[in-house]
Each structure stands twice: as structure tokens, then as C-alpha cells.
Structure 1
């Protein structure tokens, strides 16, 4: 592209071998551009499904194709799969097909968790993803997990006590107050600990809505 017209020698034009890398690079650029476009569509599809979740409305494959993937219909399965994984890992929501004949989908909290309090403020994002992570950490520790171990693990995904998170808000309040009051977690001082330290356990509501075997299966599936 840097050559000006007439700058190449008449006796030494580009050979067939010179054209191969260019063709290869063009193919790589096209593939990269497609992946970038599909990444954008994944985010748009996830946002569209979240909006329907807040509105408590189902959606259909036809609607997803027309509203989000109009020019990428051949990639529907891939984009839906990526969006589903993103929603599950970050927000703790699963894409569930409720009517195979009509290809109708809804979002439901993973592992059967209800978490109705998530919808009290529609401006805030679902937080079930963080609760699932905490339940997984406790399940791995068999019965209880030291508070220090919980915060150490959560720091790896940018969640720190006393620091506002853009999705989960202030996590210490969630773990030690909100989800304790909701019955998903127990937060207590370790008996006979000196110096005093605290630990997290599953709460009664967690045992009612899911099980440790289901949580461990989920962890194995997504890890």
C-alpha cells in the first residue's frame, strides 16, 4: 500500500508466493473482525435477556433474531451459548427453554435459588452469581469456610469487603447481613477462636432450595 503507482520494476512484479501471506492475513483479519462482532452481539443479547428478566417476560428465538441478531442469524447457537454462559457465571442466571415448539426462553436463577430481593430495585443488577460463588466456596470446605478464606477467594474476581462493586454493590453487607437475613448464609464467630475470627456456613434457605451435591456438580461443570 505504501508503493506509489509505477514504483515497482517492470521486470520484477510480485510473485505468486508473495501473494500467499497477504491472503492468509486477509483471512485472519476477517476471522478476527467476525469474532469481535460476535462478542458485541453476545453483550447485546445478554442485555436484552436481562431486560426481559426484569420485566418478567419471556422471549422467543424469532424475537432474538429480529431484535439483536438480524445480520448474524447463522451464528445464533454460538452467540446464545456465549451469552448464556456469561449470564450464568456473572449474574447467576440460566437461560431456560420453556417451549421447544416455539423456541421460547426465560431467565431463572441458577441452582433453584429464588432471590426475590434482587428485583426490588430494577436499576440494580442480579447478584445471584456472587451468592453461588460463596455457596461453592463453603461446599468445597465441607461445612464452613473461614471469613478470611472467602474474602481471599473473592478478591481474585475483584470483590473486596468495604469496596463498592459495579454489579454486587457493597459485598460485606450482602454476605453478613442481607443473605443472612434471607436465610442463605450463616455468619458467626468461630467457637473458642483466639484471636476471635468468623466463618460462613450455608443457611437453612440454601438447604431448602438447593443441595451441596448440586452446587459441586455446578462447580465442576463451569470450573
Structure 2
């Protein structure tokens, strides 16, 4: 009997995963008229309370830089208020903007995934990446710099070799970062700072890195060029292609908030 119970656990887990997937697919964005009808059935205080719960949930997730899925918000927080989801998100966006100086940005419109971006950092040039005091942010800044300077995509061997020169060996446990390779290929990827994908038709398999969606939102390419200029005692304009890209991208407003 015990043997039979042990074997049923993975099946239960897979059923739960399938159920979550079904939950994701069953939610569709309510229409304006559906939202209006839904608002007639609740008080303003109830909507504000649910908005506060959404804000709290997102802030907790953001502490670990975990992107937030709309499906998780609906399932775990919004729940029975899903028919007024757009109104709740609209109020949450306003709260993040006015109270916290943050933008709630939808970085993946297909899967409806959000991140928080610090508007004040962007506006004042005080981003954590400009003066990285957190060692992991410093590590990430180096990796993003290499990718940017090499044209936007690099093979993983180049990243590992660069880190080795900085005495951060991905094959050894590091005093500050622990398992370096896991931090880079798992944590930074999960946080959407990096994309890590297999290069097609390579045998044995080879992988490459690109900037992730969060990096595009939070990291200034112009600041990276300034850093490289100081490092090599050159003007940022010395790298003409990167200079054009940095200043064309910095002119765009990539931090517009989403109300989806």
C-alpha cells in the first residue's frame, strides 16, 4: 500500500500543474461593459481593499525580482473579483506611480507578465546599476556590458572566460555568489535580466546569452558606454555602433505602465 501511495504523488503533482495551466487559459480580459456591471455589485471600499492586496503581492514578489504572471494575480489575489480585474489593475498602477514612484510594466503581452520598474531611478539617473553596491548586481552589470559591447548576443564561453579573468570561476563555488553558473543561468534568467538559449544545430549543445526584458527596461546602455569609456580611457563615441544604439534606445520611453 505504501508503495502505491508513493507512486501516486508525481501523478497528483502533474494533475495540479495541468489544473494551473487550465486556470491560466480560462481567464479572459473582461470587456468595459462587464467591468461596469461588476462594479455595480461591489463597494468602492471593497475594490480599494482588493487593490491593496494586489499591490502588496506584487511588492513581495518584486523583492526577489520575480516577474508576476497575470494568471497568478487572478488566481491567488483577485479571485472572485476577476470580472473587475482591469479596474483593480488600473488602481494598482496609479498606486505604484503616486505612492511608490514605480511603474508596473507588462513585458510579455502574450503571456501577460509584469515587472516593477523604478521611475525615479530612470529619471534621476540613480539606478542600482550605475553604482552597484550589491555584488550580484555588479556581476550582472559585467555580463550585460559584455553582451552589449559584443553586439547583443554572445556565446556562453565568452561570458565564463570573462568572469574567470575577474576571478569568478563558474566551475567553482564562489565565496560571495555560491554556484555562479546557477546564479547566471537560473536566477538572472528567471528574473528576466538575461535570456539563455541553446544555439540551433550545435552538437555538443552550445548556448548563448542576450539581454532579457527586465534589463531592457532597467539598464541604461548609455551608462554602460560611460563605464567602458572610463575603463579604457576612451570617449564613449569611440564605439560608434554601440553609441548610436545607446542613445537611440535612451530616447525611447520603454517604461510606460500597463493597464492590461
Task: Identify the TM-score tier after normalising by the shorter chain.
Answer: 0.3 to 0.5
Instruction: Find the structure with the greater CA-based Rg.
Output: 1
Q: TM-score scaled to structure 1, two decimals?
A: 0.43
TM-score (normalizing by structure 2): 0.38
Structure of greater relative contact order (alpha carbons < 8 Å, 6+ residues apart): 2
